[in-house]
Structure 1
Amino acid sequence: MADPYKVLAVSLRDQIAGYAQTALSGLATELGTLTTTGLKLDHFKHEIQDYFVAEFPVTLHLPEFHLLGTTASPIDAEGNPVGASSTSSRMRFDFEAAEVEGVRADLAAGLIPGDRVVVLNLNGGHDVIVMCKVVSKDG
């Protein structure tokens, strides 16, 4: 006679696997290349002009750190010297740990034609979202 606990465990595992497969069945990822006029997926012959790009609202957590540099004064709003300019000796600037809320990682602003990207297909392929840029490990 079969162990009833084993039968229950196998049944639950199979049921959960089925739910996961159903939930992910419409989500396919694919590689593509940005063009000057749109997005060309590796396994779709037509260029897509109407696509989405992921945006990541985050809270930035900065650790305590320091930078080395100099100061110059005075400067205008663009950072250019005004009048008699002097530069300080090399200095260390210490920064305390901090959190910055409302930071937004704008992926779209950093993408250019020719970039290889990972694309998420939604709604049976009717909508696509560029999730990230991909590069070779050698950069």
Structure 2
Amino acid sequence: MNKDPYGQLASSLYASLNKQTRQAVGGVGAVLGTITSTGLKLDDFKHELQDYMVAELPGLLSLPRYTVAGSANLGGQQQDMTFDVEEHEMEDTLFQLGKGLKPGDRVLAVRVNSGNDVVVVCKVVSSGG
């Protein structure tokens, strides 16, 4: 019984393409991890990474109007006061996530460059606190 050569070719191409696709996207994507005292430990990788990147977010910071209660020393006397701060925008601000991370923090990391590099995007916490 002869098999259809075109069907065999299509099946072979499909299997090869499927394998190539799995290899291409394997090791790419988001993963949870934990900051350690010496690096980053990803949940799905057994070795600790010492060489990883951390996201920085440059931009415009917009602060809403708010009131702060406090005290001031006026003429040697402590006085309770409230301070009204108007809405304000600050240009050229930079949020540096890496400066706020400490060992034990859970983070969301993304693999880039075909899985060769890892970027920590943010700290993650449970919805309960």
Relative to structure 1, the CA distance from residue 125 to residue 93 in structure 2 (aligned partners, 3 Å threshold; closer, same or farther) is same
Relative to structure 1, the CA distance from residue 129 to residue 27 in structure 2 (aligned partners, 3 Å threshold; closer, same or farther) is same
* Cα RMSD for the two superposed structures: 1.7
Scaled by the length of structure 2, what TM-score is found?
A: 0.74
Number of residue pairs matched? 104
Gaps of at least 5 residues in structure 2 are: 1-24
Among all aligned residue pairs of Structure 1 and Structure 2, give the percentage whose two residues are the same amino acid.
49
Structure 2: how far apart are the matches of 1:54 and 1:70?
38
Gaps of at least 5 residues in structure 1 are: 1-24, 75-84
Per the TM alignment, residue 73 of structure 1 is displaced from its structure 2 partner at its CA by: 5.0
Letter paired with 1:65: Y
Counterpart of 1:86? 77
Structure 2: how far apart are the matches of 1:49 and 1:73?
52
Scaled by the length of structure 1, what TM-score is found?
A: 0.69
Counterpart of 2:115? 125
Deviations for 1:61-117, whole angstroms, at most 9, x for unmatched residues?
A: 11222111111258xxxxxxxxxx4211x2121122111112211111110011110
Counterpart of 2:48? 47
Match of 1:108 among 98, 103, 106: 98
Large movers: runs of 4+ above 4 Å:
none
